[in-house]
Structure 1
């Protein structure tokens, strides 16, 4: 976010965000299927495609995640929320004009990816219907053999304002990597495994630094291989998502880019 974006996170933004959380009636995290964030066939998954485009990607990702938070129950739709209100919720500058326009652009982009269906317009709030997070255009569902969850504290403790879109994307990726390991056995990725998430090296590096600085990530260099084999040093990643749900964390400060 720019400095003007940071200044746009107001008391009204925080009030509306809390109202959305309450309206969702959720008591735990928001679930996403693996197909939302990785593609084992070498194609770019929806998460990486949403993120591209600088600040536009930041808005698209945070809007999509927050709409998924809100539309918790069948038929997973959202009605009657003006674009300006979404802009206020996300802390965008000039929410009634430029912010609302950016929300409209984000909705069009997400509809083009078949992640949502939209109806209405012509001066009225557009209604949103969630579709399958894999982007195949079918009925919405996150259920399957496994899923990745974004803790409710991401919104409740205002991390959505503190983290950039790149860091939010990497946080989901790290949730996928974490599985059932322990901090002493943190996961690592081969080059091919890393590629399936579709995030650029610049995004990975920048987001890793940001998550580390916020106490959400521990990165270590560890040798891989048996004692008499060549032992390559790899980065291991342990994400401390419990911190997201810790309401005693320092107040959220919007990011500066």
Structure 2
């Protein structure tokens, strides 16, 4: 199975993550507007922009999602959490040094995208104020109208450690695609519809495999078109978000006889 780039998950990481979930007082998932995931005008949406830059995208996305989890009430801010603590929460190697630096870089990047506002300099805890997930710099608000939710089990059952950032991004995209569809009528995308999410073909392919390997996704080839039309095979996607209610770690292998 694919593994997340977070390779230093410790008992302390898990303890801090549980503490953070408790501090958020959330009982359900975190909501994001469609404009965080897709741009029908052909521009790159915030989600795709966060992912760019290789491994740094993994840290940026998981940090942003986790800050959105924590900042659940007005004024949607986070105070006095050191970079090393964020690094431990995300399971980054060398949290006191390199991990803390990567968190600082991620905060600067997200601030540059106008997704957050940061106060304070490096070397001490930096206060964070969430801005609109659309990336337009307007104040954060929770009444999005239609929204895409990332279930609380993503954190509570440690899927944040199991999945790469690319797979988390695709999971959100698939949640958007699924909408009110039923398992007997799974969604599919045209090339133009797929393009609006801004994810590369390599990301789509790699993340599809990872989600499938982890039991979060079924992909099928089905003909599309009416009886007298030219019918072509397309991939359909059905995401099993209920899987996030289960622990991310695979069950222990049975003992050898």
Q: Shorter-chain TM-score: what band?
A: over 0.9
TM-score normalised according to structure 2 size: 0.94
- Measured on the aligned residues, the alpha-carbon RMSD in Å equals 1.8
Matches within 5 A, 1:95-244: 95-244=95-244
Whether the 8 Å CA contact 1:31–1:150 is kept in 2: the answer is yes
Distance (whole Å) between structure 2 residues aligned to residue 101 and residue 26 of structure 1:
29
Distance (whole Å) between structure 2 residues aligned to residue 170 and residue 5 of structure 1:
16
More helix by share: 1
Specify the SS of the correspondent of 2:184.
Answer: helix
Whether the 8 Å CA contact 1:71–1:77 is kept in 2: the answer is yes
TM-score normalised according to structure 1 size: 0.94
Whether the 8 Å CA contact 1:243–1:249 is kept in 2: the answer is no
Whether the 8 Å CA contact 2:4–2:163 is kept in 1: the answer is no
Residue 255 of structure 1 corresponds to which residue in structure 2? none
Whether the 8 Å CA contact 1:56–1:106 is kept in 2: the answer is yes
Distance (whole Å) between structure 2 residues aligned to residue 210 and residue 100 of structure 1:
28
Distance (whole Å) between structure 2 residues aligned to residue 114 and residue 59 of structure 1:
17
Residue 14 of structure 1 pairs with residue 48 of structure 2: no
Distance (whole Å) between structure 2 residues aligned to residue 96 and residue 249 of structure 1:
26
Matches within 5 A, 1:5-84: 6-84=6-84
**Unmatched 5+ stretches in structure 1:** 253-257
**Unmatched 5+ stretches in structure 2:** 253-257
